[in-house]
Amino acid sequence: MTPPEHRLNAIAPYFTMYPLSFPLNELSQARPGEWVLDPFCGRGTTNFAARLLGLPSAGIDSNPVAAAVARSKIVRADADGVIRRCKELLASVRAPREVPEGEFWELAYHRETLLDICRLRESLMSGIDEPEDIMLKALVLGILHGPRHKGGPGYLSNQMPRTYATKPGGAVAFWRKRGLRPERINLPKLVERRARYTLAAVPETAGGEILQKDSREKSSFPRVPGGYRRVVTSPPYWGMRSYIPDQWLRNWFLGADHEVCYSQKGQLRHGGLGNFIEDLARVWENCAAVAAPEARMHIRFGALPSVPQSPEEILRSSIEMSRRWRVAGIRASGIPKKQRRQSNQFVKKMGKAIEEIDMEAVLS
Ligand SMILES: C[S@@+](CC[C@H](N)C(=O)[O-])C[C@H]1O[C@@H](n2cnc3c(N)ncnc32)[C@H](O)[C@@H]1O
């Protein structure tokens, strides 16, 4: 059972998120006040672990969905505030300016539910970023799509996976074949139920910042007094290029176009292993530039078994190329329960097991 103070971490799912236990273990020896950095923060698991331990943290991710979810991990808002804000924002937009049309949208959401989603989308896009808005945004991203539950609605959509959104063609074919029509879901009620559960015991904040930026750029890294003592991170697994297209529906909610975006802008290059290693090396160099002397870096990494190089070889090459870190230890990620593996979502989608490793490096 998830302890109530850990529930915020699961506010929205994210493809290839790692379990909270990984950063919690790696940060357990950190001293109060030490800054933590994650240059590929995803949904902000590292930032949440840092918060639980009272450590300030920074997170960087170029995917807008990741950054929006990660932001909720460092702010504090209670359920009443989020529920109130949701009602306020819904009432503030009578007729949304933009309501996507077509078979996908008709089958994905009941018309009334879609109108409410569009109302919230429009008002949350206006750029007001109070903690309640940040939390509400992440909460709605978490319920935007997912499976139907027998015991009452858990998600706003017709039947869909929750970690990634099906592409329109495939989704429509799936719904049509099974005769699945979207149910009318009461958005404010579902938000209320989720907020009461997720925000039942929100831990104290420990400070920090999440940036939607490209970590290959030096300028993306905020400097902190004394530098970061700990880096805990997990780069995209080699060959994993679908972070943006797989999150197309959540990206739409955040303001993107209502069609699948296949652009790889801001993502590590997966065209050619050499390019990928070079990109990773740049990120390690950038981390080194803002790290404290003798900082430690903990990396979880994996690659598909069809890839001839092992994840260890790939990661070692990138660390050596950066010339700033020394490998201090490497081990199989060794997570005993199969269902807790970060790669499990790949296994479901691609039917293949992935080798995962954990590496520790020290600033040299
Ligand atoms: C394995 S996921 C991290 C998951 C994270 N540990 C969690 O628990 O949610 C890797 C992340 O790297 C991000 N990413 C890929 N290329 C990037 C880049 N150049 N700059 C910043 N983030 C990048 C992806 O968007 C993805 O969210």
Domain boundaries, the chain: 10-74+205-363, 79-198
Closest ligand 1 atom to Cα of 233 = 6
Q: Are 246 and 264 in contact (CB under 8 A)?
A: no
pLDDT, tens digit (0-9, with 9 covering 90-100), for 91-115: 998 899 999 999 999 999 999 999 9
CATH architecture of the domain 10-74+205-363 equals 3-Layer(aba) Sandwich (3.40)
pLDDT-derived band at 352 (thresholds 50, 70, 90) equals: low
Given a cut of 80, is residue 353 above it in pLDDT? Answer: no
Distance 272 CA to ligand 1 centre (A): 18
* Contact (CB, 8 A) for 46 and 53: no
The mean pLDDT of 122-130, rounded to a whole number, is: 86
Pocket test for ligand 1, best of 8, 61, 314 (most atoms within 8 A of CB): 61
- Would you say the C-alpha torsion 164, 170, 171, 174 has a positive or negative sign? negative
% of the chain residues with pLDDT over 90? 76
Give the per-residue pLDDT at 341: 45
How far apart are alpha carbons 242 and 288 in whole angstroms?
Answer: 28
Alpha carbon of 338 to ligand 1 centroid (Å):
22
> How many alpha carbons fall within 13 Å on the CB side of residue 122?
19
Q: Which of 47, 62, 287 to mutate to test the pocket of ligand 1 (most atoms within 8 A of CB)?
A: 62
pLDDT at 350: 46
In angstroms, the Cα distances linking 264 to 39, 212, 214 are 17, 15, 12
> pLDDT tens, 222-235?
999 999 999 999 99
